[in-house]
Amino acid sequence: MEPKNFVSTSFGEVCREPGVSWAFWYFKPKPVPRELDLDRKTVLELSRADSALGRLAGAGRLLPNPSVLVQPYLAREALASSRIEGTEADLSEIFQADIGEDPSDSEDVQEVLSYQKALYRGIELLQSLPISLRLFKEVHSVLLTGVRGKEKLPGEFRNSPVWIGGRDIESARFVPPIPDDMRDLLADLERFLNEEPQLPLLIRCALMHYQFETIHPFLDGNGRIGRLLIILMLLEQKALPLPLLYLSAYMENNRREYYDSLQAVRERGEIQEWFQYFLTGVRVQAEEAASRAEKLIDLREHYRRSLVGVQSRAIEVVELLFSNPFITVRRVETTLSITNQGARNLIESLTQRGWLSKVGRVGRGGRIYWVCDAAFDLMDGR
């Protein structure tokens, strides 16, 4: 890491381990600021982001069956967050694997599913825990158990140095704080998350994410956990009734600016620029998520109206399609507690209406899947 690239600011400074002349350079963050002046552009972006987030929260509260859309939104967040780290998978693979009938051989798919499990675990923990170091560890354990990185201390903070970019610690673009400094910084971050707030929620989310990524407390999975924590903060503070914001999609689409904005705070203290990037992402994704929710609900109601007076359980299959647009005979059979032939008849009736199309045989078991293309295209952003 090149110390000449860094200016000492209120957000941190570069240093070497005291008393060790040959030690590597690393960045030592300052505690999270509790008060900050926001410049005019940041205030404007904050207002826009708050408005968009409020619209999304309102859409979530109006959903007739809120749980229906949670799964596809979490799938998109998990996929985008994992892609930022280099994972290659697509949404159709995730939906098919989510059904759980044919386990995927793809390590990439398994990583995305582990992110989903970690996010669900985090939401579950919010019922009994504040956002805390204990929550960090428990969610991290779920994220890395059984997938690539499982040897990198799942659920445990690192006790050795790490670096970002470069072949080794000397050529790295960024070296997070050493473990001796990290512990006090994590304790400060935990206090910041649970004190009486002095700053707007979205600004605190941006500060939390910056500080978490800069501390880099785990050997692996820091980016995914840091992005996951944004959703948990919004849920904990009741800014969203459901996890409907998939901010990672914006960060994936603007990956270079994401990394550069975080690094600019470390090197030059450019916190306003990071706030503006973060708030723009919240606005863009909240607007998209609200629009997507409205279109999915319209499609769902169109299907429901078309089935009024139809003496079958097809309407129950329609409900399944909006939690996961891929369907199998076994999924219908098991969920509706009907016979195999009854499930086939229901799928055939929706296929004849043009609402389902056969995907073909997929997976090791060669199972046949059908997909609701209209719902999937909306979920996939088409």
Distance CA 275, CA 271 (A): 6
For the stretch 233-245, pLDDT in tens is 999 999 998 898 9
CATH architecture of the region 3-292: Orthogonal Bundle (1.10)
Residue 22 in this model has a pLDDT that exceeds 80: no
Mean pLDDT over residues 352-375, rounded?
Answer: 84
* Cα-based angle 244, 193, 51 (whole degrees, multiple of 5): 40
**Cα–Cα distance measured from residue 205 to residue 275, given in angstroms and rounded to the nearest whole number:** 10
pLDDT score at 150: 63
Q: How confident is the model at residue 364 (pLDDT cuts 50, 70, 90)?
A: low
Tokens 């400094």 locate to 181
Of the candidate CATH numbers 3.90.245.10, 3.90.1150.150, 3.30.360.10, 1.10.10.10, the domain formed by 307-379 belongs to 1.10.10.10
Give the per-residue pLDDT at 365: 57
Percent of the chain with pLDDT over 70: 94
Residues 154-169 have a mean pLDDT of 91
Q: How confident is the model at residue 47 (pLDDT cuts 50, 70, 90)?
A: very high
Query: Per-residue pLDDT tens for 218-234?
Result: 999 999 999 999 999 99
pLDDT at residue 366 tops 80: no
Percentages helix, strand, coil for the chain (3-state, rounded to 5) are 60, 5, 35
Which pLDDT belongs to residue 158? 95
Residue 262 has pLDDT above 60, yes or no: yes
Pull the structure tokens for residue 91: 């949404």
pTM over 0.85: yes
**CA distances for 324 relative to 30, 59, 88, 165, 345, angstroms:** 44, 20, 20, 37, 20
pLDDT in tens, 61-120: 777 666 667 888 888 888 999 888 888 888 998 888 888 766 677 888 889 999 999 999
pLDDT at 382: 56
Q: In the predicted model, what is the mean pLDDT of the chain?
A: 91
Share of the chain above pLDDT 90, in %: 69
Segment of 77-81, 112-116, 259-263, 288-292 carrying the highest mean pLDDT: 259-263
pLDDT value of residue 310 = 87
Residue boundaries of the structural domains of the chain? 3-292, 307-379
